Amino acid sequence: MAVTIKDVAKLANVAPSTVSRVIADNPRISEETKERVREAMKELGYHPNFIARSLANQSTQALGLVMPSSADKVFQNPFFPEVIRGISTMAHEKDYALYMSTGETEDEIFEGVVKMVQGKRVDGIVLLYSRIDDEVINYLVENKFPFTVIGKPFKDADSITHVDNDNYLASKEVTEYLIGLGHDRIAFVGGSLNLVVTIDRLLGYEKALRNSNLVYRDDYIVQEEFLKEGGREAVKELLALTDPPTALVVTDDIMALGVLNTLAEMGISVPDDISVVSFNNSMFSEVSRPPLTSVNINIFDLGCTAAKYVIEQIENPSGHVKRVIVPHKLVKRQSCKEKSLQLKTVE
């Protein structure tokens, strides 16, 4: 059995409660005894048992991370390591640890959240995604458990602290950029429509088209998974149309990579035949062929800020709901071209 507060107490000739107070650096303990107790701790190699402390305290100094699906898939998209990087940095600053449950299906993930919350394994939660009709959010709200979401909650957005980009605007700008290059057949390749981010970006895209009196065509809207294969599927669908698009808004770099690959295999050149813009500005957008014009959404900041505000909620439960919009910026590289300069049009 490890050394406990009692062993220290015995050695230092004080009561266990005194040791406890020394650990908490309680000002009502004399410097002398503090010194004596500290020496005893050092001598015995004492370290507090966090579990016991958590039980007495009702606090764990840990943040729970909830991902949209199995780590298996999630970690293939650089978005997640990057948000976690942000969360971790802030967590470290505030001295919190990170806790991840490992569910695979939606149900398992929900179960994982319940275990974290009811099991009191974490003090707060960061949701790394936002989807419509999410039972996780409902559960957290009902239980008044501290949490923040990265992305915009589908409903009750003004009563839930969240950190998001202005995805509507970003997508609108990106589409306008393409329109500005003379494109009028622009397709949208997004992730699942269950994700609020997809909805927002689709809306922005639609708005831009409408503003320019371009037609919004259902067959130009494709939804796939946020993985490379997703991009591959999208291209196949779109190029099978009788009048395929000349430009693509892709909502994720990793999908865009799939798009690029597939296009290359088909002998279609980017940007000579088709222009592509994407989101996330991950390292992939720099190294792809051609380098991708992509929206930098400051993923790291997203994570940092989200962590900051759960911790704030934990430490000051009466605080106010926050809503933070992290700025975005279009980074132009070589995947877009004026339509008139494109060599030929795919038919």
Partner DNA sequence: TTGTATGCGTTATCAA
Partner DNA sequence: TTGATAACGCATACAA
- 66 forms bridges with which residues in the sheet? 127
Decide if residue 97 touches DNA (CB under 7 A): no
What is the C-alpha to C-alpha distance for residues 333 and 293, in angstroms, rounded to an integer? 4
Decide if residue 4 touches DNA (CB under 7 A): yes
Q: 14 is in the binding site of which of its own copies, DNA, none (Cβ under 5 to 8 A by kind)? A: DNA
Number of residues that bind DNA (CB under 7 A): 31
- 275 forms bridges with which residues in the sheet? 247
Decide if residue 193 touches DNA (CB under 7 A): no
Task: Tell me which amino acid residue 199 is.
Answer: I
Decide if residue 62 touches its own copies (CB under 8 A): yes
Decide if residue 5 touches DNA (CB under 7 A): yes
Per CB under 7 A, the list member of 10, 11, 23, 219 interacting with DNA is: 23
Q: 182 is in the binding site of which of DNA, its own copies, none (Cβ under 5 to 8 A by kind)? A: none
The nearer residue to DNA, 7 or 176, going by C-beta atoms, is 7
Tell me the closest approach of the beta carbon of residue 30 to DNA, in angstroms: 4
Per CB under 7 A, the list member of 25, 28, 159, 340 interacting with DNA is: 28
Dihedral angle computed from the Cα positions of residues 22, 28, 33 and 35, in that order, rounded to the nearest 10 degrees: 60
Burial class of residue 296 in the structure, from the number of CB atoms within 10 Å of its CB (0-12 exposed, 13-18 middle, 19+ buried): middle
- 103: alpha, beta or left, given left = phi > 0 and alpha = psi -120 to 50? beta
Three-class SS of residue 292? coil
The nearer residue to DNA, 27 or 267, going by C-beta atoms, is 27
The nearer residue to DNA, 40 or 297, going by C-beta atoms, is 40
Decide if residue 102 touches its own copies (CB under 8 A): yes
If one counts every other C-beta atom within 10 angstroms of the C-beta of residue 63, the result is 29
Decide if residue 20 touches DNA (CB under 7 A): yes
Q: 194 is in the binding site of which of its own copies, DNA, none (Cβ under 5 to 8 A by kind)? A: none
If one counts every other C-beta atom within 10 angstroms of the C-beta of residue 30, the result is 8
Please list every residue from 42 through 71 that binds DNA, using CB under 7 A: 46-49, 52-53, 55-58
Number of residues that bind its own copies (CB under 8 A): 51
Q: 24 is in the binding site of which of its own copies, DNA, none (Cβ under 5 to 8 A by kind)? A: DNA
Per CB under 8 A, the list member of 68, 103, 124, 245 interacting with its own copies is: 103
| Helix ranges, the chain (H) | 5-12, 16-23, 31-44, 50-57, 71-74, 79-93, 106-118, 135-142, 167-180, 196-211, 228-239, 253-265, 283-287, 299-315
The b/e string for 110-129 (b: 16+ C-beta within 10 A; e otherwise) is: bebbbebbeeeebbbbbbbb
Binding site for DNA (CB under 7 A): 1-2, 4-6, 13-18, 20-21, 23-24, 28-30, 32-34, 46-49, 52-53, 55-58
